[in-house]
Chains A and B, each alone.
Chain A
Amino acid sequence: MGRYALRRVAGLLPVLAVMIVLCFVAIKLVPGDPVMVLLSDQSGDVELEARLRADYGLDQPFIVQFGRYLAGLAVGDFGYSFRYANVPVSEIIGTSLAITPILALAALTLAVPTGIVFGTFAALRRNRAADIITVFLVVAGISIPNFALSAMFVYLFAIKLDLVPVAGWGSFSQAVLPVLVLAIAPMGYITRLTRTYMLEVLSQDYIRTARAKGLRNRLVIYRHALRNTLVPLLTTIGIIFGGLLSGTFVVETIFNIPGLGRLAIEGIFARDYPVTMAIVMLFTMFYALINLCVDLLYGLIDPRIRLGSDGN
C-alpha cells in the first residue's frame, strides 16, 4: 500500500508542475501588471516606471521571475493583484478561502446519502412507476444547468413563497438555496450510478445464495447488495467534486456569496489575472488532492487496484 501511495503522489507532481508553469506563462502573456496599476495617474514617467519594475522584480529575466514566483507559491504567496495597487493576491483570497469548500462539502454531504437512497429505491422497484419517475428526474437534474436551476429556485422559493432570502451569505437560510442548487446534479449522478450498480449486484450469484439460505430481504439488500454498490461509487466522488468546484463559479455569482468562485469571475472582468489564476491553481490542487484521496481509499478497499501492473 505504501508503494502504491508513493507512486500515486509521484505521478501527480509533474502534472502540478506543468499546471503552475502554464498559469505563470499565462499571467505573463496577458497585458498589464501591478506597475501599470500604480502608474495609472502618471503614465509616461519612465524613470518611476523603471524604479517600480525593479521593486517588483519585473525587470529580472523571465526565469528569475519564475523562480521567485515558485518560491512565493511554496509559502502561499501568489504575487500582487493587478487591480488593487500593492495588495497581495493571498490577502484578497484569504477572506474567501473557507467559504467555497464549505459550500462544496455541504452540497456533497447532501447529495451522496440522498442519491444512494433514491438509487437503491429505484433499483428495487425496477421498471415500475417509482423507478421510471426517478430515472426521469435524474435526467432532468443532470441536464438543467445550475444557473437556470438557481433562477427557478430563487423565483419559486425566495420571491413567490418568500421562504428564504434571495441572496447573500452568513446565515443558514441564505445557504439553503445555493447548497440545494449545487447538490442537484451530483444527486442525479449518484442516484443513477447507485441504481445501475445495484441492479448489477442484485443479479449476482451471492445475492441468490443469500436469498436461498433464507436471509431476510432487508438484510440481503443492506448487508450484501448495498455494501458492494458503494465501492464503485467511491471512484466517482472525485469527478463529482470537480463539478461542484466549477459550480461554485456560477452559484456564488448568482447568490452573491463572497467565495473564491465569485472572486475568480470578478478577476476575469477586472483583468486581475493573478487573482483568477491563483484561484484556478488552488481549485486544481484541491481537485487533485481529492482524486488522490479517492484513489488511495479505493486501493485500500480493493486490493486489485493497487496490485495492478501500472496503477492506472
Chain B
Amino acid sequence: MVEIDAGRQRRSDFLLRFRKSRNAVIGATLVALVVFVAIFAPLLVPHDYEHVDMFKVWAPPSAEHPFGNDALGRDILSRVLVGAQVSLLVAVAVLTITLTIGVTLGMCAAYFGGWTDTIIMRTVDIIFAFPELILAILVAAMMGPGLLTVIVSLSIVWWPGIARLTRALVLQLKNELYVSAAIACGSPPAKILIRHILPNIVAPLMVRASIGVGFIIMAEATLSFLGIGVQEPRPTWGGMIRDGLQTLRTDPYLVFYASLALAITIIGFNLLGDGLRDILDPRVRDR
C-alpha cells in the first residue's frame, strides 16, 4: 500500500514539474503534432501523394494545392505530411535497436567487468573514433541506399553512446546495498540486472533517448538528402529538399515546406529532451 502511494506521488510530482517546464510543454506539443500527422497521414492527405500531373509541374500554391506542386506535379502538402512517417519510423526503429543492444552490452560490461568489459568498451572506443555522421555515411555508402540501410547505419553509430552511459550508471549502482543483498540471496545476474538495476537507470536513459531522437531524425534526413538514404517513391523531407534545391530560384515552395516540417519535428524533440532532462536530472533540477 505504501509503495503504491509513493509511486502515485512520484507520478503527480513528475506531471507537476512537466507542466511547469516551458521546454517540455512546447516540445511535447510539437512532438504530439508530428506523431499525429505520421499516424493519420493516409487520412489527412488531400491528394494521392504519388499522383503525377504533368500539367501542374512546379505549380505555385493554389486553393487545391495549398503548398503547390513538385517537379512531377505531385501535391507537396500530401508529400510533406506522408514524409513524417519515414522520419518517425527510422527514429523508433533505431531507438529500439540501440536501446536493446546498448543497454544489454553496457550492463554486461559494467556488471561482469574483466574481458567482457574490455571487449565491449574497446569496440565502443573504435566506433567513437569516427565522427558519427561520417561513419553513418560510410556504412550507408557500402550497403547501398534504402530504409534498412538508414536504420542499420544509424544504429551502428548510436548504440555505443547508450552502452557507455548504461555502463557508467550501472557502475554507480553496483555497490549499492540492495544489489549486494540480492547477490547474497542468490539471485542470478540476469535477474539482478533486470529487476534491481534496470528500473533505477531508466530515467537518465529516457533523457538520453529523447535527446537522441533529434539527432537520429536529422541524420536520416541528411542521408536522404545526400541520396544514400531512403529512396523514391517514398517521400522523405531530406529527399524533397534535395529535389527542390535545383530549382530553388524559381520554385522555393518544396524546399521551404520540407525544411519547415523537418525543423518543427527536430525542434520539438530537442525541446522535449531538454525539458525531460531538466525534470528528471536532479543535478540540473533546481537551476
Q: Which residues on A are within 8 Å of B, measured CB to CB?
A: 14-16, 18-19, 22, 26, 29-30, 139-140, 142-148, 151-152, 154-155, 159, 196, 199-200, 242-243, 245-246, 249-250, 253-254, 264-265, 268-269, 273, 276-277, 280, 283-284, 287-288
Task: Give chain B nearest CB distance to A72 CB in angstroms.
Answer: 20
Task: Give chain A nearest CB distance to B243 CB in angstroms.
Answer: 11
Q: Which residues on B are within 8 Å of A, measured CB to CB?
A: 122, 125-126, 129-135, 137-138, 141-142, 214, 218, 221-222, 225-228, 238, 241-242, 244-245, 248-249, 252, 255-256, 258-259, 262-263, 266-267, 270-271, 274, 287
Given contacts A16-B129, A144-B263, contact A155 B255 (CB under 8 A): yes
Given contacts A144-B259, A242-B132, contact A14 B122 (CB under 8 A): yes
Instruction: Kindly list the 5 A-B residue pairs having the minimum CB-CB distance in the complex, ordered from nearest.
Output: A246-B133, A242-B131, A148-B259, A143-B266, A268-B141
Given contacts A145-B218, A246-B131, contact A254 B262 (CB under 8 A): no
Closest to B125 in A: A15
Give every chain A residue within 8 A of B242 (Cβ-Cβ): 147
Give every chain B residue within 8 A of A19 (Cβ-Cβ): 126, 129-130
Number of A-B pairs, beta carbon distance below 8 Å: 118
Give every chain B residue within 8 A of A250 (Cβ-Cβ): 222, 225-226
Per the bound structure, the CA–CA distance linking A170 and B245 in Å amounts to 22
- Contact in complex: B131, A253 (CB < 8 Å): no
Per the bound structure, the CA–CA distance linking A280 and B134 in Å amounts to 7
- Apart from A15-B125, A246-B137, A283-B134, 11 more pairs, CB < 8 Å: A15-B126, A143-B266, A144-B259, A145-B225, A148-B262, A151-B241, A155-B252, A246-B131, A265-B226, A268-B137, A284-B134
Give every chain B residue within 8 A of A268 (Cβ-Cβ): 137, 141, 228
Per the bound structure, the CA–CA distance linking A176 and B263 in Å amounts to 23
- Contact in complex: B267, A139 (CB < 8 Å): yes
Indicate which residue in B132, B141, B228, B259 contacts A151 across the interface (CB closer than 8 Å): B259
Per the bound structure, the CA–CA distance linking A223 and B238 in Å amounts to 46
Per the bound structure, the CA–CA distance linking A273 and B142 in Å amounts to 9
- Contact in complex: B222, A145 (CB < 8 Å): yes
Could you list 15 examples of A-B contacts with CB < 8 Å? Answer: A19-B126, A139-B270, A142-B270, A143-B263, A144-B267, A147-B222, A148-B221, A151-B244, A152-B259, A246-B132, A246-B134, A249-B226, A264-B137, A280-B135, A287-B131
Give every chain A residue within 8 A of B287 (Cβ-Cβ): 196, 199-200
